Amino acid sequence: MHSSSLIVVVALLMGPLVVMASEPSEQLRRLFEEEWQANLREFPVTATYLGDGRYNDRWADVSLAAIARREAHQREVLQRLNAIRSNELTPAERLNQKLYRRELETELEEYPYQWHLVVLNHRDGIQDENSVADACRFISRKDYEDWLARLKSFPEYMDQTIELLRRGVAERMVQPQVVMQRLPAQIRRQLVDDPTTSLYYKPFKSFPAEIAEADRLQLQREAQAAIQERIVPSYRKLLEFFEREYFPACVPNVGAWQLPQGQELYAYLARKHTTTSLTPQQIHDIGVSEVARIRSEMERIKQQVGFEGTLNEFFTHLRTSPEFHYTDANDLLAAYTAFVKRVDPELPRVFKKLPRIPFSIEAIPAHMAPDTTTAYYRPPSADGSRPGTYFVNLYKPETRPKFEIAALSLHEAMPGHHLQIALATDLVDVPEFRKHAHVTAFVEGWALYSESLGEEMGLYDDPYSKFGQLTYEMWRAVRLVVDTGMHSLKWSREKAIAYFQANAPKSELDIVNEIDRYIAWPGQALAYKIGELKIKELRQRATKALGPSFDLRDFHDVVLRNGAVPLDVLEEIVDEWIQAGK
């Protein structure tokens, strides 16, 4: 008798309490678990960031052969997923199936455009792979040996990366020179004469008491040898390749439109990042409309504070007046820390559920700060043992206005990224991919929406901090215009910078770094405003439909309870809640 027949016989004998192994629910559960584990094996650095240390001794295989193999595997998984009978699943399982199908289809749609060949830009790439150590825990000798194994296997990882970049040159899938000219200085930081000054050596500068002195010395000797013999030569090879072959092949203009299938690629990236069917032109038009609306609100505040002059003169006043800036980096960090403490007691007024996982505030590492934006957030480990981290940029504090601190902190920490991502990490009875889904339109849309909650929480207590919130909202509206402008409508970088400066009082350093970020990551910046507008639209719809019974805390609970989902799925979830509430 076949084993499958035996399961059926046993099930019939024992009655309905036995769940047959072949039923759709079990097939789906098994597929999710197998694929989650496979992804952790395939992408060891992702596993590291999630706090799973099983693969801390290796890098991902990023060879062209591995990329082709992963694509074929995803096609097989999609077939398996589609073969599972949806009509026999629970509503929650059908949602899981739908979301995973969407994820697979989106990734498979990307392969023909060969965006996977663009693996390097001024904001992230192999030139900063040392930062992976910051996500590792160094408690046992094995933790140090794992990092050593990564150091020793680094040349192969570098060779695969160079292979991808070389194919990118052949296929004309490259970044513009204006952003890539920042790379040589970043690579040279890794070319040290003294291995103990290498960014990769950082874990070996301190040890827990349990590790014996002799073991420490041995680990340090091995690390110094690996840096001298593996890490530094790998970066020398990258620098030589970059300067001789890669940079000369990078394009002189900006915009995805000039790449092979460039307009189609950008339209795809716009759909991917916004989870909508909006075209680049439609998104551009939404941006122009939002810029006009926010400008009129800014005009009102300019009048309120009694500034006599044009809005652009007010921007200049805000950018240049010493009263709006700190001169000391420590004072700036202290101001961020003080603000996030003010937020905590206000949260229960607008949220039913708060995350158990804490977060910390840290300075962006000094070697990356000049080339990156004002702040960013790193999620906690999957088990919550490593907190979330709100990184703030302390480089040139005199260029970073005080009035931005409130909106920025609400976005990156609470109730923005940290609240949403930490709650998602703690979801129960959902597959792992749901807990860590990074649906940009939802994640960034929520964080931008969170900035507007500062008003209801009483945190914009002077006109300038409210102007800071409008500045940040304007920044995201401007993104819709300049991102589509450069990548689809063939705007120059100079035109994009000028448009940004004309509509927001951010410093020139910030504006140039932002524009270069949009150049390097086509379409990603569209997600914020499109996501925020959808959440605000759904809140307005619920307020109108439910009238006096509308509860803001309930609304936020409904939006957040499923983790990050595409905007059309969020709309279905909120509409069902509205109908039930009626």
Total-model pTM: 0.89
Residues 407-411: what's their mean pLDDT?
A: 95
369 lies in the same domain as 284: yes
Same domain, 458 and 550: no
Q: How many domains would you assign to the chain? A: 4
Tokens of 211: 């590790």
**Cα separation, 6 vs 9, whole angstroms:** 5
Residue 15 has pLDDT above 60, yes or no: no
Average pLDDT over residues 465-483: 95
**Does some domain include residue 491?**
yes
Q: Which of these three, 252, 281, 303, is where a domain ends?
A: 252
Do residues 246 and 295 share a domain? no
d(CA 475, CA 511): 9
Q: Would the pLDDT of 192 be above 60?
A: yes
Task: Work out the average pLDDT over 51-73.
Answer: 97
Question: What pLDDT score was predicted for residue 477?
Answer: 97
Q: Are residues 101 and 200 in the same domain?
A: no
Position 257 in a domain: no
Q: Do both 528 and 538 map to the same domain?
A: no
Q: How many CB atoms lie within 10 A of CB 282?
A: 14
pLDDT score recorded for residue 12: 35
pLDDT of 11 strictly over 60 = no
Task: Note whether 344 and 407 are same-domain residues.
Answer: yes
Residues 483 and 504 reside in one and the same domain: yes
Same structural domain, 95 and 140: no
Q: In 10 A of CB 46, how many CB atoms?
A: 14
pLDDT tens-digit profile of 524-582?
999 999 999 999 999 999 999 999 999 999 999 999 999 999 999 999 999 999 999 88
Spatial neighbors of 552 by CB under 8 A, at least 6 apart, are 350, 456, 539
Phi, psi of 392 (to 5 degrees): -120, 145
pLDDT band at 10 (very low <50, low <70, confident <90, very high): very low
Q: Which two tokens stand for residue 509?
A: 């350093």
In this prediction, residue 18 carries a pLDDT of: 43
Which amino acid type is present at position 333? L
Q: Which residues contact 79 (CB under 8 A, 6 or more apart)?
A: none
Residue 321 is predicted with a pLDDT of 92
Element (H, E) at 390: strand 388-392
C-alpha to C-alpha distance for 136 and 381, rounded to whole angstroms: 10
> Taking 90 as the threshold, does the pLDDT of residue 17 lie above it?
no
**DSSP type of residue 87:** G
Question: Domain containing 79: what range?
Answer: 21-113
Instruction: Tell me how crowded residue 332 is: count the other CB atoms within 10 A of its CB.
Output: 21
- Sheet of strand 375-378, all strands in order from the earlier edge strand to the far edge: 359-363, 388-392, 375-378
Residue 242 lies in a domain: yes
Nearest to 517 by CA among 371, 399, 408: 371
What pLDDT score was predicted for residue 80? 97
- Kindly state whether residue 3 falls inside one of the protein's structural domains: no
Backbone angles phi, psi at 390, to 5 degrees: -100, 105
Q: Does any domain span residue 6?
A: no
DSSP state string for 283-298: HHHHHHHHHHHHHHHH
Q: In this structure, is residue 119 part of a structural domain?
A: no
Q: Are both 133 and 229 inside the same structural domain?
A: yes
pLDDT at 228 over 90: yes
Contacts of 191 (CB under 8 A, 6+ apart): 232, 235, 236, 239
Grouping H, G, I as helix, E, B as strand and the rest as coil, residue 176 is: strand
Query: Same domain, yes or no, for 496 and 574?
Result: no
118 located within any domain: no
7: in domain? no
- Whether residues 369 and 415 share a domain: the answer is yes
Domain co-membership, 550 together with 486:
no
Among the candidates 69, 90, 113, a domain finishes at: 113
